[in-house]
Amino acid sequence: MSCSNLTMWVSSKPSLSDASSLSFSASLNPFFHLPSQNPSPSRSSATQIQCGLRELRGRIDSVKNTQKITEAMKLVAAAKVRRAQEAVVNGRPFSETLVEVLYNINEQLQTEDVDTPLTKVRPVKKVALVVCTGDRGLCGGFNNQIIKKAEARIAELKVLGLDYTVISVGKKGNSYFIRRPYIPVDRFLEQGSLPTAKEAQAIADDVFSLFVSEEVDKVELLYTKFVSLVKSDPVIHTLLPLSPKGEICDVNGVCVDAAEDEFFRLTTKEGKLTVERDVMRTKTDDFSPILQFEQDPVQILDALLPLYLNSQILRALQESLASELAARMSAMSNATDNAVELKRNLSRIYNRERQAKITGEILEIVAGANALS
């Protein structure tokens, strides 16, 4: 007998058409009981379909195995989140130093008429959207959130009458856009288990060529910003044109670059996993105001802006990975809790069935003994 559905909810007052179907179901399933016509107000109107003891034992064993798998996946994701956070924090000194250099060079060029292609703002006719998704599932609504954010942005661009193209990063996003050929996609890219500068450089080269050749007038980066182990926000950042001061800005031009990083550490307390939060600010050496450049500042700026573009993309990939792992850890934690609850309910049903069976056998023996006496 199949044990796929243990509980079936039935109305306490079925109609005439429902009564025939219920009686037919009762003839097929000996464990099915019709609800009484005058149910007690203190009891629920749900009727439970119960399986045999063998099927229940098999289902309990299956739930136990599922619980072990989800618990292991939770611990693996928790360990990887730690490494992903360390990668984000370790990249902060380089980014901050690069910002200081860009800012000081920009201050020296305030009185000069400098034309740098990556900071050139021109009328927007076409926008490139770099959408960063994950490579795997089992992470709750992580991929759906960023894809919905991309769909909403595409709808806004259509309302404004602007053309657009998509650069998809991640297997989940690739499969989504492949099934929708009406969305123009410039390139499909995949990322490894841990983002590297080489992968970020491939994306940077693509958007750089599109922007410099004036095929697109603006490049926006859509990724999931890591907030905490239980929260992540899909955001849109303007990637190109770059801010002359090296700031990370949103679509409205507002600086959103955080100066501090929150570091989450998993520890055990009273035998349970707990999360401790630390706010870390990576210190960088102050940029000397009397430092002089041997080369022309314009040449240095042209060399540093692509480098900073690469660092922005790499940081976005790292934060997206940290958000994916945190979402997977949360999803596997919920799955483990559900498995524990389901195992408890199945064990309760199994014990009741077993007790009823033993009681019935005892009554049969007593009735037989009384009949012989």
Active site residue ranges:
139
What 8-state DSSP symbol labels residue 281?
-
| Dihedral sign for Cα atoms in the order 151, 152, 155, 156 | negative
What is 329-359 written as a DSSP string? Answer: HHHHHHHHHHHHHHHHHHHHHHHHHHHHHHH
Neighbouring-strand partners of residue 226: 232
**Would you state the structure tokens that stand for residue 128, as one six-digit string?**
């490139």
Residue 313 contacts residue 127 (beta carbons within 8 Å): no
Residue 348 contacts residue 93 (beta carbons within 8 Å): no
Question: Of 98, 124, 58, 25, whose CA–CA distance to 305 is shortest?
Answer: 98
Residue 117 contacts residue 212 (beta carbons within 8 Å): yes
**In whole angstroms, what is the distance from residue 18 CA to residue 24 CA?**
10
Residue 139 contacts residue 327 (beta carbons within 8 Å): yes
**In whole angstroms, what is the distance from residue 172 CA to residue 167 CA?**
13
